[in-house]
Amino acid sequence: MKKLLIASLLGLSLLSTSALALTLSEARQQGRVGETLNGYLAPIAQDKDTLALVKNINDARSESYQQLADSNNLPVDEVAKMAGKKLVERAQPGEYVKGLNGKWLKK
């Protein structure tokens, strides 16, 4: 069951953002967003497209985390933190992650 939970969490990072002007992949590669240990994407750039993308992705993640938490009888914060850890670990070289100290680090 835990493998299914982790697989579902990782699938969140591949959410389609084709309706937006900026894709998640592009934003990561351009250093406009970064992953955090709390399971949510955070903006580095503060432009309109980046902020809209972050809101869209985080809204979808929040909904998915809640569904996973409900189906696995876990607190939603725990699900989000498990996802955050995996998303930070899987960030590609050149992408940004927020460390425990709250500072952005480039992998």
Where along the chain do its domains lie? Answer: 2-106
Q: What is the value of pTM for the model shown?
A: 0.80
DSSP secondary structure, 23-60, as one string: -HHHHHHTTSEEE-TTS-EEESS-SHHHHHHHHHHHHH
Q: For residue 74, is pLDDT > 90?
A: yes
Do 66 and 80 form a contact (C-beta atoms < 8 A)? no
Rounded-to-integer distance, Cα 4 and Cα 16, Å: 20
The pair of structure tokens assigned to 17 is 């953002």
State whether residue 96 is helix, strand or coil: strand
| Residue 21 Cα distances to 18, 38, 48, angstroms | 7, 26, 10
Q: What is the per-residue pLDDT for 21?
A: 72
Kindly report the length of the chain: 107
Q: What is the per-residue pLDDT for 31?
A: 97
Q: How confident is the model at residue 19 (pLDDT cuts 50, 70, 90)?
A: very low
What is the chain's alpha carbon radius of gyration, rounded to the nearest angstrom? 13
Predicted confidence (pLDDT) per residue in 21-55, tens digit: 799 999 999 999 999 999 999 999 999 999 999 99
What is the average per-residue pLDDT within 42-69? 97
Q: For residue 17, is pLDDT > 90?
A: no
What is the average per-residue pLDDT within 46-70? 97
